[in-house]
A and B are shown apart, each in its own frame.
Chain A
Amino acid sequence: MPAITLTINNELFSARKEQTILEIAREHGIDIPTLCHFEGLEAMGGCRLCLVELQGSPRPVPACITKAAEGMVITTSSDKLIEYRKMLVELLLAERTHTCSICVQNNNCELQTLAAKLGIDHVRFDYLHQQLPMDASRERFALDHNRCVLCLRCVRVCDAVEGAHTWDVRGRGSTSRIVADLDRPWGNSTSCTDCGKCVQLCPTGALYKKGATVGEMKKERSFLNRILERRRLAAQGRSL
């Protein structure tokens, strides 16, 4: 694997050519916030939280999907980036009704953690308070659209890992919503295998296991480690 050298935050690093900026940064303990990204799933670049400044680029670039190249000069944190990231998470908090205090995933939620980490103690935008339904028709799991951030981890893992492609997105823009099959109740889905991968990868309390009450849902992802790691390496042309 050809090696390259690049500069991140004024420090020189060497890396493999097929690696993304995010992978290299994380390998060296440099923190870049992410939300839609999940190691081993195809990168989407939707949440924009991993934007970093790349010298010579007029706009910041997403670290999750941008492949490293020789001589790149990257800054992973600046006043501007921090402000942008804050605004992006504030937008997400305002978009749906993430009432943390009554969420099964309270204190175990990636969105909640990100907000605190980025220094958000209030949201300066209007809360949209959309009237969105919950779908508790599946025997073991439930979906609460009010807590969905449209990261599409569920869509991607269901398609690429489980092979069921139960989930997709209906509508577009601010009316986008996760749907099962032909927008039927999840309980009536014929393609869903009940594997639970979507539930475990969901960063918030949008997908959860029934029976959990406030703060009780903890996502268990270790059973996916091996397959996702294999996929991550395959994307770089390597194997376990």
Chain B
Amino acid sequence: MTPDLIYGVTGIAVFAIGLVGALCAQDRLRRVLALKLCSVGAGFLLVVGAWRVPPASPDPVPHALVITGIVVMVSATAVALALIRRLQSLEAEDDD
């Protein structure tokens, strides 16, 4: 039971939970959350792949990739949330 095994399985489970949410969630905001979960799950897999038994230091390339992934994901989230806000405003105007 090394940490890479434990957290690797965790990452896959988190991705799967996000996948269920992204496919089934009804609420717009919650679907964004589900996609965020997927991205963290994918990040886990890369970080786990980079892990080496201490005292060896881990592989830095996947770390850089995950950082890139995190920044990309925050951009995508911001756009999705802006769309949600805009839509909500338009829908509220129509209902009035």
Q: Do A and B make up one complex?
A: no
B: which residues have CB within 8 A of A? none
